[in-house]
Structure 1
């Protein structure tokens, strides 16, 4: 089999763009008027695109389930290095693992799970940091015919209990003894986990101990279990992170995963390739990281895992990835850190000029304009001073960075493109099995999250909500009562607002539930204003408020690291951090600094969308009650915690 070639049958992509009818969405999202002018000879204005589809590139019906991805890859490239496994200590060398070695480990653990009593359809919970053993456990559970239930390693016992009550796992796999304790307590409270909890770390009840029972199960029995599930069998129950409400258990099938893995790999052959490699440091409990891992495994892209993000710079320099998946905040932090370092060396002015140059270069590349001699000269200068050093910090070989999980500011995307590390922004949800849309190499448009990926359709509803249909869209929630509001006309209601631009690229515009109606009846979508404020390195999260109020206000949640650096530089003594909850931070210099940020954001929106007052707050951004594992704020939880702070804004 040729490199990057799957056994599925490829088809040529066909893009289907359909115009819709004018409605309230244009008013809500700022679309131009689309109603034709009546009268003889009147020329109708161009209507906004309302739906776009992309045909699948790969037929998947010949696949039995997700495990076929590994079986076929091992048959095609048994000796290819699939993983680099970190040692227990930072100074230990990485251990290469071939595809066949990985398959043997998966089969051995699957037999151990079966010998211990895991039956077809049983739920197996995995609670661990991002590490190689997560991948082994995930595939082993599928080989044993089980359904995988990922649990974020930061989850509290109460959160584990809630998941266990709904999913009823029979067995748990934990990363460490601390994770095992959380699983055990949650299982006990929920009356689940009859087969106990086993750890990835060595010990009496470790995965090694489970593997010792592999001899009790023969290969024929294992193969029968591996092939028990078909494409429409549930593969996993994934619990949403709950930014706007209580988590829900989404049922993702083997068809969802196989369809996404093969079609996305086909669409991104330039990125996902056998001679490439990546470092995964997003939580594997998140469907984006898990989907990425399967795509790389099926396509031969070498994978290294990293749980300790404090080591990320050293690991990137060592592993030298060709491709990375990050959340937008990571890119914003890199930009802020570069600026702070330049400022410390009294090169702040030069760095700001370098930023402007990179953005101009990125915009020229995007629009196909040939840069003039002055821009070329400036970029060459700043490449020597800044850009190549930043690329070196990321390993020096990055061809692309994929950003997902939240909206990335267009200026940041252009900046990294201009510095030689183009960002491919995509969009998806747990319920769409990760990416639903994505920019493609050669067609990257900053400020958009791309076109529907192969096998997917995006439709914009009359109220501006993004609707989705396709191979990745889930089978429904564990609680069927949640399904009634989740679907309309065969489309999944994402809960996000957006529009399709003139090129058919999706532009996000916020959450449906975040729309604010003031006491004066003005309807405001806060996304644009919040994103503008969050582009400042000091601001981790901006939350506009004003529902039923006479004017708009905001809470600005500061990022602890840039805040500490700013305080040191300006001789400001910060109050001690308080664990949990939020608190107002009152400092006149800081207030003036952020007032300028707010004023600039106000200039980017209409008068009705401008914020009149704001309060600076500090919060424990490690508190899972307030922040999701992918660094998104839980708006309702924050507002509930900050009742007193909010009240001050309207006194």
Structure 2
């Protein structure tokens, strides 16, 4: 059993609760820009909001919540896309003494109803009329007293749900003294938010995170990443704010004087980068795969595919040399200068030209992908965490980064590897438990949270992940296989969105390769192979039999098989398409595949892979 710890680097004894993150910022630099906001859908201009202006808006909305009947400890739910008003409502609820319950904007009615009931939500705030309707139905059907639902959007006509301006108007009768008493009601050990896990393998569970979890993590992350988090820097948040990673990022930036802009549609990110020119971004690996894939597609369209392949190899080689602290050879430096002029400089410009670092989380990052971005001059720092650890538990640091690793424990955190290889966590950000006591039965061991992930620690204390404990496959011959490495290798191909190895109780392993619909369409147009396979209705998985596609995927399968042991290689595979455009359906809001939902939908395809196979290995 191995264990690695890092001492806390920040004290938060002078914080009553998470609202002090804003209050201290306002005292230090009230006129510094905190947000850049597009107020209406038809206004393309970005407007600056200072820390003081944000505080005033928070106070006004918080008074409205109090006037509406919100009491200390009541649950207030927010269901909306990522936008400025989400940040406003989040902080206002804390100022009013409430507990925030985020709901993903893509959640199904049954999910919304279950969360509202379980968290005993008293008041709802929806981003649109559709969100308001879903929350209203859920609150009306609940068995506890409720206060109603307000909309972030202003109604276009006379009818429609009340909006936040109405809530603010009603709050004018609440005094500053009353609100200050409410703001100070919760201490560090009070529950600040109940976050329901997205559930890749099972039913969502409500994780109760305290103000201590949030404040401790915000201050210690800032202390550990001073080269990334600094006054005057800026970022764009496009991950769902219902996810603890995006929400934690927002608090880190707000507390440290960094500008924040929000985008609800990830497709708007690239055009916006050149306008706002952020200094860092938090992304999921799929975003980086798409950026590199788009560059490869553009090179292919100009008949520069071979040149681009050489450029990629050069970038990875340069990234590896930098990681080792080695000076590039004269030949490598010369090649890099050429490819920088042809490709890399344009990629950096596409990302705004000012990005110091990319921070990657929520899913495993391929080592070569990380080295590629480092080699083009935009280092990627991969980290690891869960809802239950208040986002990052470990992370690579600007001064010490290793591709393929998720870094060392962050300040105030301890990581232990159990005898079974499971990653265990303890420290500042680790929650106290789930809302339902029954969910805590197997969640902790010896005071450590059981993450369910398999991992190992090297001699320098860096954590490397090896897959999920629940994803281990035991074949009929008794061989235990962790398929994560094979799956990650396949997913590195630009045409592939997800790969799933199967074979529990079977004589061999097989694989199901899910194509990326956007990349598939571009591939068909570029190579002139005709229209791409039609994406089926949500919830359906359809097998693709196109010879050209199968041959392309076969090369990726062969390459992946070459990287794993014989027992981890797959013998047969199927190529499929499914609707990946709806987070909350087949994928989580951070675009991880929901394995249980996918297994059910792809059962016929999987059965076909093992048809006629022998009963023993």
| Contact 1:176 1:201 (C-alpha < 8 Å) held by counterparts | yes
Q: Name the counterpart of 2:17.
A: 65
1:586 is aligned to 2:545: yes
| Contact 1:160 1:187 (C-alpha < 8 Å) held by counterparts | no
SS at match of 2:221: helix
TM-superposed deviation, 1:587: 1.1
CA distance in 2, matches of 1:92, 1:538: 33
Q: Name the counterpart of 1:556.
A: 513
Q: Name the counterpart of 1:216.
A: 173
1:250 is aligned to 2:192: no
TM-superposed deviation, 1:308: 2.0
1:625 is aligned to 2:574: no
Matches within 5 A, 1:175-324: 175-191=127-143, 194-203=146-155, 204-324=161-281
CA distance in 1, matches of 2:231, 2:490: 40
Matches within 5 A, 1:411-560: 411-560=368-517
CA distance in 2, matches of 1:575, 1:262: 49
CA distance in 2, matches of 1:539, 1:317: 28
1:595 is aligned to 2:554: yes
CA distance in 1, matches of 2:43, 2:84: 18
TM-superposed deviation, 1:273: 0.8
Q: Name the counterpart of 1:612.
A: 571
1:642 is aligned to 2:602: yes
TM-superposed deviation, 1:564: 1.1
SS at match of 1:126: strand
TM-superposed deviation, 1:178: 1.2
CA distance in 2, matches of 1:317, 1:574: 31
TM-superposed deviation, 1:589: 1.5
SS at match of 2:121: coil
| Contact 1:278 1:321 (C-alpha < 8 Å) held by counterparts | yes
TM-superposed deviation, 1:576: 2.6
1:55 is aligned to 2:15: no
| Contact 1:424 1:438 (C-alpha < 8 Å) held by counterparts | yes
Matches within 5 A, 1:269-418: 269-418=226-375
TM-superposed deviation, 1:501: 1.8
Structure 1 residues 631 and 192: alpha-carbon distance in aligned structure 2, compared to 1, 3 A threshold: farther
Deviations 1:326-354 (A, max 9, x none): 00000000010000000001111111111
Q: Name the counterpart of 1:167.
A: 119
CA distance in 2, matches of 1:189, 1:565: 46
Q: Name the counterpart of 1:47.
A: none
CA distance in 2, matches of 1:91, 1:126: 24
CA distance in 2, matches of 1:190, 1:514: 36
TM-superposed deviation, 1:311: 1.6
| Contact 1:362 1:418 (C-alpha < 8 Å) held by counterparts | yes
CA distance in 2, matches of 1:334, 1:649: 33
CA distance in 1, matches of 2:151, 2:431: 30
Structure 2 unaligned spans of 5+: 156-160, 612-617
Structure 1 unaligned spans of 5+: 1-19, 21-49
TM-superposed deviation, 1:90: 6.0
Deviations 1:20-75 (A, max 9, x none): 4xxxxxxxxxxxxxxxxxxxxxxxxxxxxx11000000111221100011111100
CA distance in 2, matches of 1:406, 1:90: 34
Structure 1 residues 90 and 379: alpha-carbon distance in aligned structure 2, compared to 1, 3 A threshold: farther
Instruction: Give TM-score scaled by structure 1 length.
Output: 0.91
CA distance in 2, matches of 1:467, 1:234: 23
| Contact 1:171 1:193 (C-alpha < 8 Å) held by counterparts | no
Instruction: Give TM-score scaled by structure 2 length.
Output: 0.96
TM-superposed deviation, 1:189: 3.2
SS at match of 1:170: strand
SS at match of 1:626: coil
CA distance in 2, matches of 1:219, 1:238: 30
SS at match of 1:223: helix
Q: Name the counterpart of 2:530.
A: 572
Q: Name the counterpart of 1:6.
A: none
CA distance in 2, matches of 1:192, 1:451: 45
Q: More deviation in 320-329 or 214-223? A: 214-223
Matches within 5 A, 1:3-152: 20=1, 50-89=2-41, 92-152=44-104
Structure 1 residues 134 and 193: alpha-carbon distance in aligned structure 2, compared to 1, 3 A threshold: farther
CA distance in 1, matches of 2:301, 2:357: 29
| Contact 1:164 1:192 (C-alpha < 8 Å) held by counterparts | no
CA distance in 2, matches of 1:198, 1:191: 20
Deviations 1:181-226 (A, max 9, x none): 1211222333457211101111350000000022211111111100
| Contact 1:162 1:190 (C-alpha < 8 Å) held by counterparts | no
Deviations 1:461-481 (A, max 9, x none): 011100000000011001001
| Contact 2:517 2:535 (C-alpha < 8 Å) held by counterparts | no
CA distance in 2, matches of 1:190, 1:408: 41
CA distance in 2, matches of 1:91, 1:401: 29
| Contact 2:95 2:183 (C-alpha < 8 Å) held by counterparts | yes
Q: Name the counterpart of 2:158.
A: none
TM-superposed deviation, 1:503: 2.1
CA distance in 2, matches of 1:193, 1:85: 35
CA distance in 2, matches of 1:597, 1:69: 48
| Contact 1:56 1:456 (C-alpha < 8 Å) held by counterparts | yes
Deviations 1:525-560 (A, max 9, x none): 000000011110111000000000011001101100
CA distance in 1, matches of 2:482, 2:528: 35
Q: Name the counterpart of 2:614.
A: none
TM-superposed deviation, 1:312: 1.3
CA distance in 2, matches of 1:633, 1:490: 30
TM-superposed deviation, 1:585: 1.0
| Contact 1:529 1:605 (C-alpha < 8 Å) held by counterparts | yes
Q: More deviation in 578-587 or 341-350? A: 578-587
| Contact 1:499 1:508 (C-alpha < 8 Å) held by counterparts | yes
